Structure 1
Amino acid sequence: MNIEEVIKSSRPIEDQYHRTFLNIVYSGIWLEQNTIDPLKQRGLSHPQYNVLRIVKGYKAPMTVASIQQRMLYQTSNVTRIIDKLVEKGLLVKESSNEDRRVVLVNITAAGSGKLKELHDLIYGSVKQVVGKNLSVEETMMLGTLLDKMRS
């Protein structure tokens, strides 16, 4: 289905930059909606999942500021997200030994387990949705073009 059909436009979108913009925005929302169910069923949001991935991938305790810099959603309230994940037992917060004013965040065993459980579900869903109509080569080309657009 092309973007004009999706937005129920009565005529083709002539400006290709605008058409591409709409396509990218719609596709991002569409992909997010296709991956949200496994997260919701396990009591997590996309930003919470993102924080877990960031902390796990860093392999050492992180400051809140360094987590914020790596967030996909830069406007997210990282402190609140971290507090919710601490309440769920998925992250821990501790004071730095060098500077007690600095709060360090680390993933718990439960957080690592939750992330492992979600990884297969999320990436399986993404692979199914993206791979339904795109080959591996087309997916690589799309990724390259998106990287180029943002550079």
Structure 2
Amino acid sequence: MATDSKLQQEIKKRTPFHSPEQEAYLNLMRTSDLLQNQMGRFFREYGLTASQYNVLRILRGEGQPLPSLEIAERMIQVVPAITGLIDRLEKQGLVERRRCENDRRVVFVEITPQAIKLLAKIDKPLEDMHKHMLGHLNRGELKQLSSLLEKARTLDGG
């Protein structure tokens, strides 16, 4: 008789999973939920959401204003309403908007000095949080995990 998987025990599932794909998917969802909850609590301490942090990280990394749609394309998590997200950041004084002079439909978003200071406060604690959440995996395991997750995102098996 096969022993129950760790996930099967965690969720108290009485019967085996229908397939290895189902088990892997549910493992991925459970892990994602755990990590997102921890990160959500972390960012709330700084008055941000994970998506707001992501916008600021993109802008700081680029080093220059970007169009809203470019920011949306670079987001880790798809955000249906990038405009609302940027509105909230603007209200907090963390970004400023400017219309493109050549094409008034394009809105550039620029990070503020206040946001750069906030990110500087977040950098080290965030690095520590990543180590806390994944530091029990060695370098090879982390590379393998990243590779497998990238492969899973292809969705076409290629």
Q: TM over 0.5, yes or no? A: yes
- 2:139 is matched with 136
Higher Cα radius of gyration: 2
Aligned-residue offset at 1:63:
0.8
Q: Name whichever of 22-31 and 5-14 sits farther off.
A: 5-14
**Mapped pair 1:100 → 2:104:** yes
Residue 122 of structure 1, aligned match among 111, 122, 126: 126
- Deviations, residues 56-114 of structure 1 (Å, cap 9, x unaligned): 12222111111111122213311111011111111111122322332110101111111
Q: Distance in 1 between matches of 2:107 and 2:141?
A: 43
C-alpha distance after superposition, 1:26-65 (max 9, x if no partner): 1111111122222111111111111111121222211111
Q: Is the 8 A contact 1:89 1:110 kept in 2?
A: yes
Which residue identity lines up with residue 124 of structure 2 in the other structure?
D
Q: Which amino acid aligns with 2:142?
A: T
> What is the Cα deviation at residue 14 of structure 1?
4.7
What aligned pairs does 1:62-81 form with structure 2 within 5 A after superposition?
62-81=66-85
**Unaligned regions of 5+ residues in structure 1, if any?**
none
Alignment equivalent of 1:23, drawn from 27, 51, 57: 27
- Counting only pairs closer than 5 Å after superposition, residues 1-80 of structure 1 correspond to structure 2 as 2-80=6-84
Q: Which moved more, 1:53-62 or 1:86-95?
A: 53-62
In structure 2, distance between residues paired with 1:12 and 1:33: 27
In the TM superposition, residue 150 of structure 1 has moved relative to its aligned partner by 1.6
- Residues 90 and 110 in structure 1, CA contact (< 8 A), matched pair in contact too: yes
Give the 3-state SS of the residue equivalent to 2:109 in structure 1. strand
Quickly say closer, same or farther: Cα 1:23–1:15, change in 2 above 3 A. same
**Aligned residue in 2 for 1:83:** 87
Change beyond 3 A, Cα 1:9–1:25 = same
- Give 1:141 shift: 0.8
Question: How far, CA to CA, are the matches of 2:127 and 2:33 in structure 1?
Answer: 16
Structure 2 gaps of 5+ residues are none
CA distance in 1, matches of 2:79, 2:109: 19
TM-score, structure 1 length as denominator?
0.91
Counting matched residue pairs gives 150
Q: Secondary structure at the match of 1:66?
A: helix
